[in-house]
Structure formats: structure tokens, C-alpha cells
């Protein structure tokens, strides 16, 4: 009985220091399948406003018409708007995630609706729909 216990204990100690090697991979992972209507949030290539971020800020600044009631009351804030950049670069599914006032929120939506088509996003070499969140700062000058 003592002999059996010794052998079992010795074999566990002997195998303790050995490196465990995982089995080799059996096959490569298949390429990611993209659903036709899937909306991505993170992609390899983000959608882009024509001319880049600076041009987009200029567009928003030039297009945003401060609502008079909010101007009179000195209301400022940041509206977080989400939208989908479609495969053709058009904008759809515009939603206010966090707003300031109904009038400022409506103006932010109007400006997003007025945007020209973007360069669409890409995933795995294919043009895809991408959800984009944009903060728009309403600030009195």
C-alpha cells in the first residue's frame, strides 16, 4: 500500500513541471459572414464625411440655426445623435440619444438629415451599414 501511494505521488510530481502543449489547429477559421442588413458599430474602416472631420464640423456650424427660444433663455448643451451610414453613404435611422431641449434636438436632427452622402464603412473588404454617434454642441456665441 505504501509503495502504490509513493508511485502515484512521484508520478504526479514528475509531471508537474512538464509543459502542456495544446493540440495543433485543425483548420483555419472560415471568413466572417456578413448579414445583408446587419448594422455594425465597430468596423475595419469607419465611414467618413466628405472632406473629413474638419469639413463635417464646418458643415454643422454653418447649418445649425440656433432656436430663438433657446437663445433667449441662454440654453446651451450637447446633443448626442445616433444614425446609420448606409452602404450607399446616405444617412438613416436618426435618433437623439441624449438631448438638450426639444427645439435644439429637432435642429440637430434637421442638420444630420441635410448632410451629404458619406464614404461608407467597410468590414472584411465589403461595404457595410455602420451606426455612428455624433455629439453636437449647441453653444451661444
Contact between 64 and 136 (Cβ < 8 Å)? yes
Domains identified in the chain and CATH numbers: 36-138 (3.30.2420)
- Asked whether the predicted pLDDT for residue 90 surpasses 90, the reply is yes
pLDDT (0 to 100) of residue 25: 61
What letter does residue 48 receive in the DSSP assignment?
A: B
pLDDT (0 to 100) of residue 36: 72
3-state helix, strand, coil in the chain (%, to 5): 30, 25, 40
- Asked whether the predicted pLDDT for residue 136 surpasses 80, the reply is yes
- Asked whether the predicted pLDDT for residue 53 surpasses 90, the reply is yes
What average pLDDT does this structure show over 22-41?
A: 69
* pLDDT tens-digit readout, 94-128: 999 999 999 999 999 999 999 999 999 999 899 99
Which burial class, exposed, middle or buried, applies to 79 when counting CB atoms under 10 A from its CB (0-12, 13-18, 19+)?
buried
- Asked whether the predicted pLDDT for residue 15 surpasses 60, the reply is no
Amino acid at each position: 500500500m505504501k509503495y502504490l501511494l509513493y508511485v502515484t505521488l512521484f508520478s504526479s510530481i514528475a509531471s508537474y513541471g512538464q509543459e502542456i502543449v495544446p493540440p495543433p489547429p485543425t483548420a483555419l477559421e472560415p471568413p466572417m459572414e456578413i448579414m445583408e442588413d446587419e448594422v455594425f458599430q465597430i468596423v475595419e474602416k469607419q465611414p467618413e464625411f466628405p472632406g473629413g472631420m474638419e469639413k463635417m464640423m464646418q458643415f454643422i456650424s454653418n447649418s445649425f440655426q440656433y432656436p430663438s427660444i433657446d437663445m433667449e433663455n441662454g440654453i446651451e448643451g450637447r446633443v448626442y445623435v445616433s444614425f446609420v451610414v448606409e452602404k450607399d453613404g446616405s444617412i438613416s435611422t436618426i435618433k437623439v440619444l441624449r438631448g438638450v431641449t426639444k427645439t435644439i434636438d429637432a435642429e440637430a436632427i434637421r442638420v444630420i438629415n441635410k448632410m451629404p452622402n458619406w464614404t461608407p464603412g467597410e468590414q472584411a473588404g465589403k461595404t457595410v451599414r455602420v451606426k455612428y454617434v455624433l455629439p453636437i454642441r449647441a453653444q451661444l456665441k
